[in-house]
Amino acid sequence: MSSAGNRANGRATAAQAETPRQHLGSIMAGNILITLAVIAASLAAVQCMSKPNFCNSYDCPPFDSQRLNGFELRSYGETMWVGTSRVVSSTSSSSSTSSMFQKLYRYIGGANSAGKRIKMTVPVATKVQALGGGQFRYTMMFYVPGANPPTPNDSDVEIIAMPARDVYVSFQQSVRERGR
């Protein structure tokens, strides 16, 4: 056998002669590297879901965004909201939306189990559901950052876990132009 072959065999023999302690150390080092890789990937995913510019100084639900055929596809992760609903006989009931807003505003003002003030967030979402017979259910919601928001003191107000979802958005003009 050549001397190169002997050296290669010698290395293989030395690697096989690893002690149990060395072997355990190798496994632990590998596990640490895998753990660090998973953490790095998780942080990268969180950084991708960043706060959009139009939120200004307010907290708002983070999302990933991509342009598709004149639309913006927004992919939201699971988010927490606080909401209240009311059944009305008209789709233009401003008094209903005003009273719902006040209930939610009291919640973020400290009317919750923690007695904690919560910063105002955007957007204020309103869902209108036709119930039939001229009846509509209005649901107004504020986004609540974090995984465990305090329980509302008002029984008409509830915490809503919004599942991850994709939303298509299209604007005829930019958000800035509309505000002018």
Q: Compute the half-sphere exposure of residue 72: CA atoms within 13 Å on the CB side of its CA.
A: 11
Range of the domain at 23: 3-48
pLDDT by residue for the chain (180 residues), tens digit each?
A: 544 444 444 444 444 566 666 655 555 555 454 544 445 444 444 444 566 777 889 999 999 999 998 899 999 999 999 999 999 887 666 777 899 999 999 999 999 999 999 999 999 999 999 999 999 999 999 999 999 999 999 999 999 999 999 999 987 765 555 444
Mark 67-97 as b/e (b = at least 16 C-beta within 10 Å): eeeeeeebebeebbbbbbbbebeeeeeeebb
Q: Any idea which residue has 């994709």 for tokens?
A: 166
Q: Considering its fold, how many domains does the chain have in total? A: 2
Specify the 3-state DSSP secondary structure of 138: strand
Statement to judge: residues 34 and 63 lie in one domain: no
Statement to judge: residues 40 and 64 lie in one domain: no
- Report the distance separating Cα 65 and Cα 48, nearest Å: 9
CATH number for the domain harbouring residue 159: 3.20.80.10
This model's pTM is above 0.85: no
Statement to judge: residues 63 and 7 lie in one domain: no
Statement to judge: residues 85 and 131 lie in one domain: yes
- Report the distance separating Cα 47 and Cα 77, nearest Å: 13
